[in-house]
Structure 1
């Protein structure tokens, strides 16, 4: 049975994992009727009704190529714009998309940030509400202990670049500007929690050099 999206933070909702995107978790930021959908949830009656109840979708932001899912159907149903990093926009040749290079500003409180490595166009979305929330797609995921880490897989595009992208986020934010991470997968490892809290401190404690040298795949 499909499940209703659940509140993760005051203005952020998490959808159930979507089999079309290999079990990934999509999110909705509800912001002054300029709502942003991060990655693709399942397109069923329950989710479409929920999106309508929240005021629709202005923008669909895709964190990486694996999150495209049924983006075309979502655009048809909601009339939203689709935003994706320029190196992966070619994967949506039939759709009207907005692509960006390094950053894309949705509003004064929402900004996309290119964080390549997991895929060429892998990107995160930063939301300034709730003390600062970073939607990381598969760039940063919880490990079995619930800690946010980069995970190297057989599909990783460029591991050293992914590590550099993590460092760029650590350099960009502070404990005052980054309180939470909403990961795009592995949410079962959060053991009932819907977000990773104390996000900046946990990122700052990562042994990135050890990660970079690791040859292990997950």
Structure 2
């Protein structure tokens, strides 16, 4: 079965089509170079494991950093890694056990720096090792994993599911994000699921204002979704 090509949603930022192997998750690819001009590309979560996907990534310099943002986002990681040979596959330490024997697995506790000033950082709640990725280019992009997702109105929200690991911790992380970011360093958000609710936009363009509009204390008693 052929796979649709990824879509360029911002300059050098690509979104892959939803992947059945990650329950409809959206993976992202950031083209980047280090200070020496060498490729330092970042893959966030797992696209479909398909020849077209591998060829697309290889044609753009390959993947030097692969960040898995939450349990369930790794998809067919072993098969994909066999094709990509990514030198660093990053996962928060509490979820490393889900990827036994995966080559080049690198764990971190709170945060892991990425070339270009970005970083992967721990945002527990949806799952024990849930994480987000911050990319400072183009006004600041927050790849939210499943920590923040569009609701049916296309608004960025923490969504409580029946399998959510720890809802109060997830809401505390929302407060930390609100304190961390400003209108000057956060322009966009790229969620790992529910992208269909963005109605073709493929990206949240007013991420800072949507983040600041959240009221974690009022969300504490929100019922779990199915």
Q: Which residue of 1 aligns with 2:152?
A: 144
CA contact (8 A) 2:190 2:203 kept: yes
Point out where structure 2 has 5 or more consecutive residues left out of the alignment.
34-38
Q: 2:78 aligns with which of 62, 68, 72?
A: 72
Q: Which residue of 2 aligns with 1:82?
A: 89
Q: Deviations over 1:178-216 (max 9, x none)?
A: 000000000000001010011011110112112112124
Q: Deviations over 1:53-90 (max 9, x none)?
A: 11100011000011011111222111112100000011
CA contact (8 A) 2:162 2:224 kept: no
- Partners of 1:116 and 1:186 in 2: how far apart? 19
- Partners of 1:2 and 1:68 in 2: how far apart? 18
- Structure 1 residue matching 2:132: 3-state secondary structure: strand
- TM-score between the two structures when normalised by the length of structure 2: 0.94
Moved over 3 A (4+): none
Q: 1:100 aligns with which of 99, 108, 115?
A: 108
Q: Deviations over 1:19-69 (max 9, x none)?
A: 000000000000021111000000111111110111100011000011011
CA RMSD of aligned residues (A): 1.0
- Partners of 1:216 and 1:37 in 2: how far apart? 30
- Structure 2 residue matching 1:90: 3-state secondary structure: helix
Q: Does 1:56 align with 2:62?
A: yes
Written as runs of structure 1 = structure 2, the 5 A alignment for 1:125-144 is 125-144=133-152
Q: Which residue of 1 aligns with 2:42?
A: 36
Point out where structure 1 has 5 or more consecutive residues left out of the alignment.
none
- TM-score between the two structures when normalised by the length of structure 1: 0.97
- Structure 1 residue matching 2:112: 3-state secondary structure: strand
- Partners of 1:184 and 1:45 in 2: how far apart? 22
